[in-house]
Chain A
Amino acid sequence: MSAHERLSAAISAAKESGRPALVPFITAGYPEPKDFIATLKDVASVGDVVELGIPFSDPMADGMTIQRSSFIALQKGVSLKWIFDQLDSAKGEIDAPLVMMSYLNPLLAFGYDALAERALAAGVCGFIVPDLPFEESDDIRAALEAKGLGLIQLVTPATPEARLRTLCEASRGFVYAVTITGITGGDAGLPADLTNYLDKVASFSDIPVCAGFGIRVPEDVAAVGKHAAGAIVGSALVEVLERSEDPKPFLKALLGS
């Protein structure tokens, strides 16, 4: 099984067990770099897939919470190289497949071939790149595909239908369905009319669909879980870590357990 197929399988397995898959997001090395692996293990013990945020100086698709965590992690010296070193040191100890969420420039600076190689070795199965539209993604996609890694496409409520089909077909691992028209971290609640949107995304996708942005409470997870295979929880979890609370009970509660 290739790395991106492992992602799909982990999400499908949760769905088949009768619950939505949970995909927690953390900013790598936040709030304290020394606690990174411990936090990751905790989060991976509940989550089905873990999304690791790579800090970036210009997080233009992110709201205040993730901006702040990213800024602090950078100040404390977190870099992609450091993250890979840490993951290497914890090889085999993390209970969930990983995806990295990174803006393009740190990946470009790392070099795509080197990136794919290190990612595969470190247990990373795919990448989400929020400032990389499909049209600009040939080079990185080729480098990732050569190692069986997935480039996960985002789709949004603003995506026209023809484009939606293209993106769903191109995505590997899962399809990331953004629930709102906006940035991460919103607390205005989920839009009322998610059903049609998520059902449509699912109907175009051969791989699982995970919904993200604005998912904060158990009711949100249950609501998107009816129409998507998984729920991605970012800012709400980062806020839990910001308050130095244990993430496990928070994540378990999201699943209603």
Chain B
Amino acid sequence: MSTLFAADEAELLLDAAIKGNMPDDRGRFGPFGGRYVPETLVPAFDRLEAGVKEHLHDPAFQAEFQKELREWVGRPTALTFAPQLSKAWGAEVWIKREDLAHTGAHKINNAIGQALLAKRLGAKRVIAETGAGQHGVASAAACARVGLSCSVYMGAVDMERQAPNVDRIRRLGAEVVAVETGDKTLRAAIDEAMREWVTDPDGIYYLLGSAVGAHPYPYLVRELQSVIGQEARQQMLDQAGGLPDVAFACVGGGSNAIGLFHPLLGDDIELIGVEAGGTGDGLGQNAATLATGTPGVLQGSYTIILQDDDGQVQETHSISAGLDYSGVGPEHALLQATGRVKYISARDDEALEALEELCATEGILTALETAHAYAAARDYAKQNPGKRILIGNSGRGDKDMPTLTKLPARIRS
């Protein structure tokens, strides 16, 4: 636990988070969050915030959103018991199957929710960023569904390693804008999308794909993704006969993790977020933001970021494009600081090994992002035998075939 607050203050902040009283009016999760955006976008953020207040919990909006989740996304997604993994790990392993959601990842929950909101707010067109391409695909699909045009900003490095998704985005009718600036991955894509938004703050709706950025995005994305944890909680009670001892989710910006964790915050469940450990602990070798970062402002939010002593944001490395990001959502920063959620990391090779094991034992090709959660869960199971483990399976791995086929073939034991 960090030394950011005294224990009693941490308790108060955590209590507010559990009760859903975070963020506050200024978009703060304790000290984290806020809204650090160019002046040109301030009126656009004010309108978005007012729109979220008006529509998000309005029964008519919710009815439409729930109908789309049911009939178009295919929710509820299954909770799957994993008998082979359970045996191999000496645990009881349950998997929340966001890979079965339409377009193959949790990203669609947020994308369809925000696309419906964009429509209500009278947007002329939608822009989105993407790392792994899953949010790009989800945004393209959701915009096609509601009848809005969509441009997806994607780093050139990610376009190469997630090539199948680039093609899918285009087929779904969206434009892909290659980002050649900065680190050419997710962070640069967000910067570039912001630059585009500044040119037409009235007409453009920015469909941000993770629980990051300036207020109200971390809140909005959490609310739209919380369906994961709400369903999983009920399914555990129904199918497993009780809540899990521990839940794992991978953390890039933190949307699937906050979606799974938020509805479980008040329960007696250990929560563990897993970041990308990359190739090692050195600066630039990983994207383990919460594990090794410090407080700072990145892309609209005061949160934990990877930076040097001069406040320059550091480049990251991860085999998974979706975790390859130097920041993290502000609510995770608070959950770490209060000690409620533990954040650890898994390295590239550990994630790959876990991905192979899951394929072989349960017949599920998971995303490289998600594989990090399995790697950490497996370690945990070995050290804590007999636990009931819930894993957020944020997405499927088809998009990772270009990366996987480049690896030397391994011999299965």
> Chain A residues in contact with chain B, CB under 8 A?
56-64, 67, 71, 74, 79-81, 103-110, 130-133, 135-136, 153-156, 158-160, 163, 167, 178, 181-183
**Which residues does chain B contribute within 8 Å of A181, judged by CB atoms?**
40, 198-201
Taken residue by residue from 289 to 328, chain B's Cβ proximity to chain A (1 for < 8 Å, 0 otherwise) reads as 0000000111110000101011111100000000000000
- Nearest CB in chain A: distance from B121 CB, A: 16
Binds A, one of B29-37, B142-150, B368-376, B398-406: B29-37
A63–B195 CA distance with the chains assembled, in angstroms: 8
Q: Is the CB of B296 within 8 A of A109?
A: yes
Q: Is the CB of B307 within 8 A of A109?
A: yes
Q: Count of B residues near A, CB < 8 Å?
A: 35
**How many residue pairs bridge A and B at CB < 8 Å?**
109
- Nearest CB in chain A: distance from B387 CB, A: 40
Residue of B with least CB distance to A61: B38
CB-contact partner of A158 in B26, B43, B314, under 8 A: B43
Q: Given the interface contacts A58-B313, A159-B43, does A130 sit within 8 Å of B38 by beta carbon?
A: yes
CB-contact partner of B299 in A58, A79, A136, A159, under 8 A: A58
A160–B40 CA distance with the chains assembled, in angstroms: 10
**Which residues does chain A contribute within 8 Å of B37, judged by CB atoms?**
131, 133
- Nearest CB in chain B: distance from A209 CB, A: 14
CB-contact partner of B34 in A136, A155, A159, under 8 A: A136
- Nearest CB in chain A: distance from B99 CB, A: 32
Q: Is the CB of A58 within 8 A of B298?
A: yes
Q: Is the CB of B296 within 8 A of A108?
A: yes
CB-contact partner of B310 in A59, A60, A81, A136, under 8 A: A81
Question: 14 interchain pairs (CB within 8 A)?
Answer: A56-B312, A60-B191, A61-B38, A62-B195, A104-B36, A105-B297, A109-B296, A133-B36, A136-B34, A159-B39, A163-B42, A181-B40, A181-B198, A181-B199
A11–B396 CA distance with the chains assembled, in angstroms: 60
Q: Is the CB of A109 within 8 A of B199?
A: no
**Which residues does chain A contribute within 8 Å of B298, judged by CB atoms?**
58, 105
**Which residues does chain B contribute within 8 Å of A178, judged by CB atoms?**
39-40
A79–B34 CA distance with the chains assembled, in angstroms: 26
- Nearest CB in chain B: distance from A8 CB, A: 20
A80–B307 CA distance with the chains assembled, in angstroms: 15
Q: Is the CB of B199 within 8 A of A136?
A: no
A130–B195 CA distance with the chains assembled, in angstroms: 13
**Which residues does chain B contribute within 8 Å of A104, judged by CB atoms?**
36, 297
Q: Is the CB of B195 within 8 A of A58?
A: no
Q: Is the CB of B34 within 8 A of A61?
A: no
- Nearest CB in chain B: distance from A117 CB, A: 17
Q: Is the CB of B40 within 8 A of A110?
A: no
A74–B311 CA distance with the chains assembled, in angstroms: 12
A64–B300 CA distance with the chains assembled, in angstroms: 20
A63–B194 CA distance with the chains assembled, in angstroms: 11
- From A74, A106, A130, A160, residue with most partner B Cβ within 10 Å: A106
Q: Given the interface contacts A60-B195, A109-B307, does A135 sit within 8 Å of B43 by beta carbon?
A: no
CB-contact partner of A156 in B34, B40, B314, under 8 A: B40
If A60-B195, A104-B36, A133-B36 are given as contacts, then 14 extra A-B residue pairs at C-beta distance below 8 Å, sorted by A number, are A67-B182, A79-B310, A105-B298, A105-B313, A106-B311, A109-B307, A133-B39, A135-B26, A135-B35, A158-B40, A159-B42, A163-B43, A182-B198, A183-B198
Q: Is the CB of A105 within 8 A of B35?
A: no
Does B75 make an interface contact (CB < 8 A)?
A: no
Q: Is the CB of A183 within 8 A of B311?
A: no
**Which residues does chain B contribute within 8 Å of A62, judged by CB atoms?**
195
Q: For chain B residues 22-58, which have a beta carbon within 8 Å of chain A?
A: 26, 34-40, 42-44
**Which residues does chain A contribute within 8 Å of B36, judged by CB atoms?**
104, 131-133, 136
Taken residue by residue from 200 to 236, chain B's Cβ proximity to chain A (1 for < 8 Å, 0 otherwise) reads as 1110000000000000000000000000000000000
Does B187 make an interface contact (CB < 8 A)?
A: yes
CB-contact partner of A67 in B40, B181, B202, under 8 A: B181
Q: Is the CB of A158 within 8 A of B201?
A: yes
Q: Is the CB of B310 within 8 A of A133?
A: no
Q: Is the CB of A61 within 8 A of B310?
A: no
Q: Given the interface contacts A133-B36, A183-B199, does A110 sit within 8 Å of B181 by beta carbon?
A: no
Q: Given the interface contacts A61-B195, A109-B296, does A160 sit within 8 Å of B43 by beta carbon?
A: yes
Q: Is the CB of B311 within 8 A of A107?
A: yes
Residue of A with least CB distance to B312: A57
A34–B26 CA distance with the chains assembled, in angstroms: 44
**Which residues does chain B contribute within 8 Å of A108, judged by CB atoms?**
296-297, 311
Q: Is the CB of B311 within 8 A of A133?
A: no
- Nearest CB in chain A: distance from B303 CB, A: 11
**Which residues does chain A contribute within 8 Å of B181, judged by CB atoms?**
64, 67
- Nearest CB in chain B: distance from A82 CB, A: 9
**Which residues does chain B contribute within 8 Å of A105, judged by CB atoms?**
296-298, 305, 307, 311-313
**Which residues does chain B contribute within 8 Å of A107, judged by CB atoms?**
311
Q: Is the CB of B39 within 8 A of A57?
A: no
- Nearest CB in chain B: distance from A115 CB, A: 11
**Which residues does chain B contribute within 8 Å of A132, judged by CB atoms?**
36
